[in-house]
Structure 1
Amino acid sequence: MSLSDDLLPPRRPLFFPVVIATVFLSIIGMSAGLVLGSHHKTPPERDVSAGSSLPTEPVITSVPCPPEMHATARRLGYNVTLVQVLRVRAASTGTTVWICRDEADRLYYQGNRGGYETWIEGKTALFLTGVVRKDDGFFAVAANGTTFFVSERRLEIVRKKGAAEGWDVTPE
């Protein structure tokens, strides 16, 4: 028997793989927490003693949605009249978003970069159906899995792979 037969095999150092895994999992956890937490913000409290009231629903008007949105809806087989529920603009990106409803109270999303100046469906504009009202805003999901959230204060986009973007918006 030789001396080397009695020794244990050399151990591989685990420090660096553990550190790398910890950093990677921390980044994933923080990203998921930020995305999920951004949808559950508590709205600021308002002074109801001064006669103001807390709105529970966006004001639904009879303002028609843009003709380009109607044209896109008809082209996709939705022969409906759409009225505006919400219209907001992200000044930092030039994006305008409309949430519209039809006579059956189904909701639609229309986003357009550049306002009315440039309206090319699939390039600068995006029309989505199946919009869901939740919390203080509206959610829509594109065919590629990208999720859109829009409220009177915020527009957020979460890509299928988890990358999130968000902008403050102002109602129009």
Structure 2
Amino acid sequence: MTTTLPTLNEISAEFVVARSQAAGEPAWLTERRRQAWAAFAQMNPPEWRRTDLSKLDPTTITPSDSAHATAIQWDPALAAQGVVFTTLAAALRSHEALIQKYMDTAVEPLKHKFSALRAALWQDGAFLYVPRGAAIEVPLRLIYTLGADGVAIFPRTLVIVEPQASVTLIEEFTSL
């Protein structure tokens, strides 16, 4: 079942917090979402030379909670090497400490308006962990599928590759 959320101009910090709590997310993640929403709401849109952002009307952008339509294609035998490739929601239950340590370290969401938006409203995504010394020869594939018109998706992909490890990840975005 696909459920749509209010449009961006109707979402509040209280909504973001309530949604996180309803999903059973840990308190640290709920707080990160709240901070990200506050940053998004306070920042001006970036000024890009060749991209006209005036057409992004928040009254017409509806985030969807169906972005977790994630297909993860890999050889489960890689788990014997310690590789973990799963949804972010599943990884929050089994690898919370790793997620808390590494999430938001590559891009700081409180410094960029659209990164803050993604950090506040992400629905699910993927988690890939490759331990030290593991060499994954065949590319792993991740497919995010948007199944509805007129909605935006904000999935997150967290990739942790330890030293002396290697992997190729192919990430695709599709719509029906």
TM norm structure 2: 0.24
Greater strand content: 1
TM norm structure 1: 0.24
Greater helix content: 2
Q: Which has the larger radius of gyration?
A: 1
Between 1 and 2, higher relative CO (CA 8 Å, sep ≥ 6) is seen in: 2
